[in-house]
């Protein structure tokens, strides 16, 4: 395939695991043409370790840059992606391990199906690299490929960035919108649904590391995600702002514009619920805009400060 493949990685105090991650990228059966690493002003040896690694391995096209000020992980990813030039961009955390065929398999599928974005499954490891099947959503895989349908709950689609790649079209739109209060993964997944196509490969493409210092993704199994109703409200507000940005900036069909506006209405109702200006029953008419019952129950749990207790119950039931 005559295409250029980029990897966009961010780093922050990642000296413990980053070399293992770089090794897994360098060992790919289809190596990337460029790897762009943007460090968010680490206070440990991350930068020197990466620079020495690039020099020692003579890695052309691999670059590390250091921010002038700390940006936070969301804005740092945006700035990292801005520096890429590839036709397909893979997103990388600093502490995972990529399985050897990740780039080759996913890039070939991207080209064959003319996808906007593609994400795969994951295995979960701990800080020592030990597999933890009990923490995984599933332990058996079909290795099949499926297209994600566009529907009312598209804005709540969850696409883990470290398992994902996106086309230049989607990446450039993400850059143009410049919305740094939202994650690169969720934005690119949703943009692919709106502007092109989003696909899922039911096959592990990485070993996802869970430890106490994760900046994003799945860290704990004791709640519904955020730590307070205020963070839940902030997330809803950011989603609403992003959807309103889409309505202003993108040329959407009437059908998709209607769905986006309806999603805005649903989010606004959730805001009123969190502010105690609406009852749980007022959300029922918007249930199709949720990804599932768990998300709906999560709103109830956060409003009544029961997220920790209900989250523990949820995980105990899930593990049975």
First to last CA, the chain: 45
Average pLDDT over residues 22-37: 98
Res. 297 pLDDT band, cuts 50 70 90: confident
* 142 and 187 co-located in one domain: yes
Is residue 57 one of the residues assigned to a domain? yes
Count of structural domains, the chain? 2
Taken in order 218, 222, 223, 226, the sign of the CA dihedral is negative
SS3 70: coil
Tell me which residue range forms the domain holding 309: 229-319
Answer whether residue 279 is part of any domain: yes
Picking from 264, 269, 210, the residue whose alpha carbon sits closest to that of residue 242 is 264
- Mean pLDDT on 75-103: 98
Residue that finishes a domain, picked among 155, 179, 209: 209
Q: What is the pLDDT of residues 106-139, one digit of tens each?
A: 999 999 999 999 999 999 999 999 989 888 878 8
Residues of the chain above pLDDT 90, percent: 75
In a domain, 216, yes or no: no
Q: Is residue 139 part of a domain?
A: yes
Strand partners, 7: 35, 90
235 and 204 in a common domain:
no
The answer to whether residues 153 and 238 belong to one domain is no
Q: Give the model confidence (pLDDT) of 228-258 as tens digits.
A: 888 889 989 999 999 999 999 999 999 999 9
CB 71 within 8 A of CB 39: no
Do 241 and 205 fall into the same domain? Answer: no
Q: Is the pLDDT of residue 222 over 60?
A: no
What pLDDT score was predicted for residue 138?
82
Instruction: Mark whether 10 and 104 lie in a shared domain.
Output: yes
Q: Is residue 179 part of a domain?
A: yes
What single string gives the DSSP state of each residue in 141-184?
----EEEPPP-TTGGG----GGGEEEEHHHHHHHHHH--TTS-H
CB atoms within 10 A of CB 247: 12
If asked whether residues 276 and 161 sit together in one domain, one would say: no
β-pairing verdict for 117-125 and 198-209: parallel
* pLDDT higher than 50, residue 259: yes
The pLDDT score that the predictor gives to residue 314 is: 60
- 214 within some domain: no
Please enumerate in sequence order all residues whose Cβ is within 8 A of that of 135, keeping only pairs 6 or more positions apart, or say none.
124, 210, 221
In terms of domains, do 166 and 306 share one? no
Residues 77, 28, single domain; the answer is: yes
Q: Is residue 289 part of a domain?
A: yes
CB 48 within 8 A of CB 18: no
Both tokens of 83, joined, read 């520096």
**285 neighbors 268 (Cβ within 8 angstroms):** no
Q: Is the pLDDT of residue 216 over 50?
A: no
Residue 227, φ and ψ in degrees, nearest 5: -95, -10
Does residue 32 sit in the same domain as residue 131?
yes
Average pLDDT of the residues of the chain? 91
For residue 118, give the DSSP letter.
E
Residue 114 CB contacts under 8 Å (≥ 6 apart), including other chains: 196, 197
**58 and 187: one domain?**
yes
The pTM of this model reads 0.90
CB 180 within 8 A of CB 75: yes
What is the arithmetic mean of pLDDT over 276-301? 88
Residue 41 DSSP code: -
Shared-domain flag, residues 24 and 139: yes
Which of 161, 179, 209 terminates a domain? The answer is: 209
Question: Residue 196's domain is classified under what CATH number?
Answer: 3.90.550.10
Residues 147 and 282 in one domain: no
Domain boundary among 144, 178, 209: 209
Domain assignment present for 219: no
Q: Specify the pLDDT at position 228.
A: 80
């Amino acid at each position: 395939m005559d295409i250029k493949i980029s990897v966009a990685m961010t780093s922050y105090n990642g000296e413990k695991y980053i070399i293992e991650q770089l090794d897994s990228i360098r060992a790919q059966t289809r190596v990337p043409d460029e790897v762009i690493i943007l460090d968010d002003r680490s206070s440990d040896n991350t930068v020197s370790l990466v620079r020495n690694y690039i020099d020692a391995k003579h890695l052309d096209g691999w670059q590390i840059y250091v921010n002038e000020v700390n940006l936070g992980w969301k804005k740092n990813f945006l700035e990292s992606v801005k520096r890429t030039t590839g036709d397909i961009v893979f997103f990388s955390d600093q502490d995972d391990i990529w399985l050897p065929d990740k780039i080759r398999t996913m890039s070939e599928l991207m080209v064959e199906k003319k996808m906007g974005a593609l994400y795969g499954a994951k295995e979960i490891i701990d800080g020592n690299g030990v597999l933890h099947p009990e923490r995984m959503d599933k332990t058996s895989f079909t290795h099949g490929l499926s297209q994600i349908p566009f529907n009312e709950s598209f804005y709540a689609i969850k696409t883990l960035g470290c398992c994902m790649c996106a086309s230049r079209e989607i990446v450039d739109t993400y850059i143009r919108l410049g919305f740094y209060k939202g994650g690169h993964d969720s934005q690119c997944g949703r943009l692919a649904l709106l502007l092109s196509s989003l696909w899922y490969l039911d096959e592990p493409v990485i070993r996802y590391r869970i430890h106490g210092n994760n900046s994003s993704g799945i860290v704990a199994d004791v709640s519904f995600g955020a730590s307070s109703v205020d963070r839940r409200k902030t997330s809803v507000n950011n989603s609403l702002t992003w959807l309103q940005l889409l309505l202003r900036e993108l040329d959407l069909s009437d059908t998709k514009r209607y769905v986006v506006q309806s999603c805005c209405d649903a989010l606004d109702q959730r805001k009123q619920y969190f502010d105690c200006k609406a009852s749980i029953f007022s959300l029922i008419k918007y249930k199709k805009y949720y990804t599932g019952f768990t998300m709906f129950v999560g709103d109830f749990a956060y409003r009544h400060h029961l997220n920790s207790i209900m989250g523990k119950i949820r995980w105990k039931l899930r593990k049975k």
